Amino acid sequence: MAEKQQKTAAVRLAAYCRVSTKKEAQLDSLAHQREFFAQYAEREGMQLAAVYADEGVSGRQLRRREQFARMLADASHGAFDLVAVKDISRFARNTVDCLQAIRALRHLGIPVRFLSSGQQSMGDSEFILTVYASLAQEESANLSRRVKFGKEINAKKGRVPPMLYGYDRVDLFTLRICPAEAEVVRYIFDRYLAGWGAVRIAQQLNRRGIPTKLGKRWQSRGVRRCLENPVYCGILVNHKTEVTDYLEGTVRLRPRTEHFVHERPQWAIVTREQFDAVQAERRRRRQLAECGTNRDS
């Protein structure tokens, strides 16, 4: 006798996961999240249709999360029936963004299931979801405050950037001059004082096959950053910026009176006189640019 009922199609599951940094341990966590969702789909008798994974991005803002945006776009084309997220903090640490995304998916008839808390966006109280999202946002705020405090303490001690052209970082507070890159730094300062602009210097470095610290081609912006950094004359300046809104990622420049200045003469690649001369020349060229007589500063 022929079957009277057709086999019900399996629910197509889309999984979303995120890690906030690209550190090895966190990327390993991302691999574990993928495995977790594969096992979950098999256990629930679902078809794992897609896994959307954002690596090395914050949960506070949606605009930088390419995979999250792709998930929402695919949802509008009916690519899956259900979204599963291990924890609400992986979905979004901004309450408004979290609820807006859930509502957008709900409008398409797609529920979101948060597995660690057993919450589902359809049929459950949005008030409860708001509480969970608010807790995730507050956790992010507390983390931001702890990070800010730690950065300020390290800035006072003279923490160095993780990567800086002309140097190799020995530890959190120590740089070692890289001889080959130091020669390039001297070349940049010398050519600028000889009348070249940042664009011309970058072009010449690229013609000579000299890469940046990241192995990329030089841009005028990178040349200017080199010319304006006092570390090249042995002065490390920290505490120059401050995050004013951790959710939006907005930053303000601190006044000079709040900067932490550390004398490190052993790191000097150019003399203080050369550095000061470059700053005076940069000011002169900016004034000319304001008058419309100089474009390449």
Q: What's the rounded mean pLDDT across residues 28-41?
A: 82
Element (H, E) at 74: helix 66-76
Confidence label for 218 from pLDDT (cuts 50, 70 and 90)? very high
Which are the contacts of 143, defined by CB distance < 8 A and separation ≥ 6? Answer: none
**Collapsed DSSP state (helix, strand, coil) of residue 247:** coil
Q: pLDDT digit string (tens) for 7-33?
A: 567 899 999 988 765 554 555 677 788
Residues pairing with 12 in the sheet: 47
Ranges assigned E (strand) in the chain: 12-19, 47-55, 82-85, 112-114, 119-120, 167-171, 174-177, 235-238, 241-245, 250-253, 260-263
15, 78, 126, 174 from 72: Cα distances, Å: 12, 10, 20, 45
Q: How confident is the model at residue 108 (pLDDT cuts 50, 70, 90)?
A: very high
Closest of 121, 78, 79 to residue 99, by C-alpha = 121
pLDDT reported for residue 118: 54
Q: How far is CA 52 from the centre of its chain?
A: 18
Residue range 167-192: average pLDDT?
Answer: 95
Query: Crossing angle of helices 126-157/95-107, nearest 10°?
Result: 140
Report residue 88's pLDDT band, with 50, 70 and 90 as the boundaries.
confident
Cα torsion angle, 64, 70, 73, 75, sign: negative
Sheet holding 82-85, edge to edge: 47-55, 12-19, 82-85, 112-114, 119-120
Domains, the chain, with CATH or none = 12-143 (3.40.50.1390), 158-290 (3.90.1750.20)
Q: C-alpha angle 77/78/83, rounded to 5°? A: 115
In the numeric block, the tokens 């979290």 are attached to: 98
Please report how the helices 220-228 and 272-290 are oriented relative to each other, as an axis angle in degrees rounded to 10: 130
pLDDT digits (tens, 9 = 90+) for 138-158: 665 665 566 665 666 766 777
Q: Is residue 282 within 8 Å of 227, Cβ to Cβ? A: yes
For residue 167, the model assigns a pLDDT of 96
Distance of CA 54 to the CA centre of its chain: 12
